[in-house]
Amino acid sequence: MQYSAPSEHRAMTDPTQRIVITGIGLTAPNGNSLAEYRAALLEGRSGVSDYEIRYVGKTLAGVCDFDPLRYQKRKALRNGTRAGSIAIYCAQEAIKNAGLELAALDTSRVGVYLGITEHGNVETENEVHDLAKFDNDIKYWSHHHNPRTVANNPAGEVTINLQIAGPHYTIGAACAAGNAGLIQGLQMLRLGEVDVALAGGISEAIHTFGIFASFKAQGALAEHDDPAKASRPFDKARNGIVVSEGGAIYVLETLARAQARGAEILGEIVGYHINSDATDAVLPNPERQQQCMRAALAKAKLTIADLDIVNTHATATPRGDAQECAALRELLGDTPGVYVNNTKSYIGHAMGAAGALELAGNLPSFKDGVVHPTINVDDLDPECALDQLVLNEPREVGGVDVILNNSFGMLGINSVVVVRRFAGE
């Protein structure tokens, strides 16, 4: 029997096709739970600090400070990866937050879908560095290298740690990957392949010197005397990216299943889209970005006027921020009541985790009616000036019903997710 995708109408009305968020687990440079993270965003507390890595030397980074031994044994930590530890911490926290009892589930019906920017660079760099100490004799090369460096590693480590027997894989989508992981989880639930999806994004980027060296060579690595002010999207003095690690994993379920078990629903994913610029490996294409946003809204059957918050991808690069703002200016026009913010100003760029972490930072707005600001904007670049850009101080807006979350990546991949407040219908 050939599978036929559900119609848009069915996806919006059938509770077995409507996909909701029932749990979130995260670690960010400024918080190890959604509550801690949200408090930092509303208080204007940065997670960027001084950092040093081999060959590059002193730089800046967003470093997470979670306890990996909360859910792992020391041997598993030694044999595994930093990305795996981040993923395990986030998955365990998400399941706890959702009130799920894995022992009561058929774990062959639980899937793990994690967006990544890259994987294996950290482990390979470390092995090559250590091998040089032994005159490059390969008998000193770790037999753990292969399972550490396969692309599915972070998701696979989650399944081993939690004894989940369902499908697992990672989605390589550059810095659009956090959204792509959520989209994959949603699609697998709608296909009926799984009953529960653990979906989101993970990054261990700060542990590879190569990413710092490459951005530095490109002239795109942020510098500032005060680490907390280094990530400054939209500011005229912005000078590049702050590389960060982190992760955010969501428990996704159908509305029917979530309601049947009495779960708290944190939001409903009502629209999404992924497209490609098809123009350049690095420089963004605002026309394609705008097309991606419009397509996601069309799938959600929403208009521009329905939006309340747009979370920008803006990484604090001179051209990237201006191009995204050009796309948003064209998209939003003079529509009132659409507030624009940015989360990287607090935590830097968490690469594969960025989209998932940034969406998490805005979801509490459904409850508190507050839009967190973009911080570190002392002198707004006119090219980035948008009518409803929220700067430096939180804004109470009374009610938030719809969030649009942008994540764009190298090689011209764009991803957009639209989430709506669940009103109990």
- 88 Cβ contact partners less than 8 Å away, ≥ 6 residues apart: 68, 71, 72, 157, 158, 161, 162
Provide mean pLDDT across the span 121-149. 96
**Is 245 in the same domain as 282?**
no
1 within some domain:
no
β partners of residue 182: none
359 within some domain:
yes
2 within some domain:
no
**Is 350 in the same domain as 252?**
no
pTM of the model: 0.96
**Is 36 in the same domain as 95?**
yes
CB crowding 186-209: b at 16 or more within 10 Å, else e: bbbbbeeebbbbbbbbbbbbbbbb
Write out pLDDT tens, residues 96-111.
999 999 999 999 999 9
**Is 352 in the same domain as 237?**
no
**Is 182 in the same domain as 289?**
no
| Structural domain that includes position 396 | 268-420
Q: Of 252, 257, 256, 289, give the one whose Cα is nearest residue 269.
A: 252
Write out pLDDT tens, residues 195-222.
999 999 999 999 999 999 999 999 999 9
Q: 318-332 and 286-300 are packed helices; what angle lies between their axes, rounded to 10 degrees?
A: 40
Q: Is the pLDDT of residue 4 over 50?
A: no
CATH number, domain at 398?
Answer: 3.40.47.10
**Is 226 in the same domain as 128?**
yes
- 376 Cβ contact partners less than 8 Å away, ≥ 6 residues apart: 46, 228, 229, 230, 231, 232, 233, 235, 345, 392
In DSSP notation, 74-128 reads HHHHHHS-HHHHHHHHHHHHHHHHHT--GGGS-GGGEEEEEEES--SHHHHHHHH
**Is 330 in the same domain as 238?**
no
The two structure tokens encoding residue 159: 């399944």
Q: Is the pLDDT of residue 258 over 70?
A: yes
CA 404 to CA 417: how far, in whole Å? 6
288 to 26, 128, 179, 324, 326: CA distances (angstroms): 30, 40, 17, 10, 12
Q: Is the pLDDT of residue 230 over 50?
A: yes
**Is 236 in the same domain as 287?**
no
The two structure tokens encoding residue 49: 């600090």
- 277 pLDDT band, cuts 50/70/90, is very high
Q: Does 297 or 9 have the greater pLDDT score?
A: 297
- 13 pLDDT band, cuts 50/70/90, is confident
Provide mean pLDDT across the span 233-241. 97
**Is 187 in the same domain as 305?**
no
**Domains identified in the chain, total number:** 2
In DSSP notation, 396-414 reads E-S---EEEEEEEETTTEE
59 within some domain:
yes
406 within some domain:
yes
**Is 295 in the same domain as 216?**
no
Residue 417 CB-half CA count within 13 A: 32
The two structure tokens encoding residue 271: 């629209």
pLDDT of residue 1: 32
CB 412 within 8 A of CB 287: no
Q: Is the pLDDT of residue 2 over 60?
A: no
- The number of angstroms, rounded, from the C-alpha of 172 to the middle of its chain's C-alpha atoms is 13
- Write down which residue in 237, 260, 283 finishes a domain: 260
- Write down which residue in 213, 243, 260 finishes a domain: 260
Provide mean pLDDT across the span 18-41. 98
The two structure tokens encoding residue 312: 């920008």
CA 13 to CA 87: how far, in whole Å? 32
In DSSP notation, 260-314 reads HTTPPP-EEEEEEEEEE--S-SSS--HHHHHHHHHHHHHHHT--GGG--EEE---
285 to 278, 320, 410: CA distances (angstroms): 9, 9, 11
The two structure tokens encoding residue 249: 């994993």
Identify residue 12 by its one-letter amino acid code: M
425 within some domain:
no
**Is 256 in the same domain as 330?**
no
CA 155 to CA 91: how far, in whole Å? 10
